[in-house]
Structure 1
Amino acid sequence: MKIQVAILAAGNSSRLGRPKQLVQWQGKPLIRYVAEEALAISDPNVTLEHCVVVGAYAEAVAEALHSLPLQILINPDWSEGMASSVRVATQYAIQQQADAILFALTDQPFVDTSLLEQFILTYLEVNDSGCVVVSDYGSDWGVPLLIGAAYFESLVQLKGDSGVKRYVKQRQLAVKKVTFLRGLIDIDTEHDLMHLQERQ
C-alpha cells in the first residue's frame, strides 16, 4: 500500500503578516519541523511518498526544506484558497498511484511522528479505500486527516477556500478519529505565536 503525506504550505499567512511556514519552532523553521516529523514515519506495511505544496513564499519555503527527501509541488493558484492546494496534492497522488493521502498543515506545531503514524495504523485496520481518518480535537475534528483513493476524483474538483474537512462534512462521510487535543492550537496571529513561544 502506498500513502502520500501531503503538507499544505502555500498560504500567504495574511493574518500573521509574515510567513508562518518560516516561524522558528524547536530551533528550526516550522515547515521543516513538520516535514521532518512526517519523514520519520515508519511502517513496514506501507510505502510512503512525501510532498509539500508551496505557493505564496515558494522559494523561501523550499529553501527551508533544503536537502530533505520530499517532493516540492508548486501551486500557482494558491491565492484561490485551500482547495487549490488540495487539488495539487491530489493530482500528484493520482500520478503516483497512491492509495490514500495524509494531509497535514504547517501551522499545527504539536503534530509529531507518533501522531501521524496513528492515522496510518487506523487506516490499515479498516483497509478500505473509502475510509476517512480525522483528528479529534475534543470539541471538533479536522486535520491532520487521511482520506482514501475512493475520493480522489472528487477532491481534484474542489474550488475556492473549501478544504478536505468541509468536503467530508458536506458529504456526511463516516470518519474514524485519532485523538489530537492540541490540534486546535495553531498559528494565525502574532498573539498565537507569542502564546506558543511561551510553551517552548
Structure 2
Amino acid sequence: MAPTPPETPSVAPRPEGRVAGLLLAAGGGRRLGGRPKALLDLGGRPLVEHAARALRDGGCTPVHIVLGAAAATVRERAALSAYRVSENPDWAQGMGSSLRVGLAALNASEADAVVVSLVDQPGIGAAAVARLLAAYAAGADLAAASYAGRRGHPVLFGAGRWADIAATAEGDRGARAYLRDHAGELTLVECSDVAEPYDIDTPEDLPRLAPGAGPTDGRGGTVRGHGE
C-alpha cells in the first residue's frame, strides 16, 4: 500500500500577486572535476539557460540568477539578457550564501513571493513551477514541490519570510532548516507526474544531459533549447 501523503495546511485564496523566480547557479561542480554546473551542456546550450527558462515559462517574473564559479565565462557563453543576474563572491561557502545573495537582490523588487530552483536539476521544468504559482494563488505562502509525498524543489517563499530564511541559510543547507522548522505551515505540491527531481552531481549523472533529456513540458515531451 502506498504511504498516505502528509496533509497540507488549509489556505485561503489571495489576490493575484507577482511571483519572482530565483535560480541558484553558483556551484563549482567539485564532484564533477571542477566543471561549473551552470556551463554543463544540455541540447547544445548551457544548463543555466534551460533552468532560467523553466522559471520564466512557468510564470515567474522577473527571474533572478545567482552566479558564482566561472561567473564571467557563464555571462559570456550563456544568453541571460532576459534575466537579472547577481554574483556571489562567496559561492564556495555553499548554497546558503547564494540564497542570501538572491533574496537580497529580490528585496529591491516588487515581488510578493519567489520560486527558488537549482541549476543542477534539469528534470524539473516549467510545469512544476506553474503548479507552485497555482498554490500561491490559492493562498499558500510556503510551498514545495513534492515527489511521491517527499519534499523537493522548487520551493516557494512569500516575501514576509525572506528575512528569516536568509538568517538561517548557511553552508549547503540552503532553506532546509527553515523548511524543517515550519513544516506545519508548508504546502506540498505533488509534481511527480510532470518532473523528475534528480541532481547532476557526479560524472555518472552526466548521461541525463544526453539528447532527449531535459525539463518536462508537462505534456510528455521535453523542453527544447535554442538551436535544437
Aligned partner of residue 95 in structure 1, secondary structure: coil
Q: Report the counterpart of residue 85 of structure 2 in structure 1.
A: 72
Identity %: 30
* Cα-Cα RMSD: 2.0
- Give 1:41's aligned residue: 58
Amino acid at match of 1:106: V
Q: Residue by residue, what CA displacement relative to the aligned partner does 1:81-117 show, whole Å, maximum 9, x if unpaired?
A: 1111111111111111321110011111112222211
Calculate the TM-score normalised by the size of structure 2: 0.77
Counterparts of 1:166 and 1:142, CA distance in 2 = 14
1:47-101 per-position Cα deviation (integer Å, ceiling 9, x unaligned)? 7111100011211222233353111101111111111111111111111132111
> What corresponds to 2:185 in structure 1?
174
Q: What's the offset of the Cα at 1:16?
A: 1.0
Displacement after TM superposition at 1:196 (Å):
4.8
SS for the counterpart of 2:210 is: helix
Q: Does 1:8 align with 2:24?
A: yes
Structure 1, unaligned runs of 5 or more: none
Superposed, 1:123-138 pairs within 5 Å as 123-126=136-139, 131-138=141-148
Structure 1 residue 198, shift from structure 2 partner: 7.5
- Contact 2:153–2:197 (Cα < 8 Å) also in 1: no
Runs of 4+ in structure 1 off by over 6 angstroms are none
Determine which structure has more spread, i.e. the larger CA radius of gyration: 2
Alignment partner for residue 162 of structure 1, among 167, 173, 176?
173
Deviation at 1:27, TM superposition (A): 3.0
Secondary structure of the residue aligned to 1:59 is: helix
**Matches of residues 83-98 of structure 1 in structure 2 within 5 Å?**
83-98=96-111
Deviation larger for 62-71 or 94-103: 62-71
Unaligned stretches of 5+ in structure 2? 1-16, 214-228
How far apart are residue 191 of structure 1 and its match? 0.4
Give the length in aligned residue pairs: 193
Q: Select which of 46, 52, 67 maps to 2:65.
A: 52
Equivalent in the alignment of 2:43: 26
- What secondary structure does 1:53 align onto? strand
- Indicate the structure with greater helix content: 1
CA contact (8 A) 1:135 1:183 kept: no
Shift in Å, 1:124: 0.7
| TM-score w.r.t. length of structure 1 | 0.87
Cα 1:64–1:179 shift into 2, 3 Å: farther
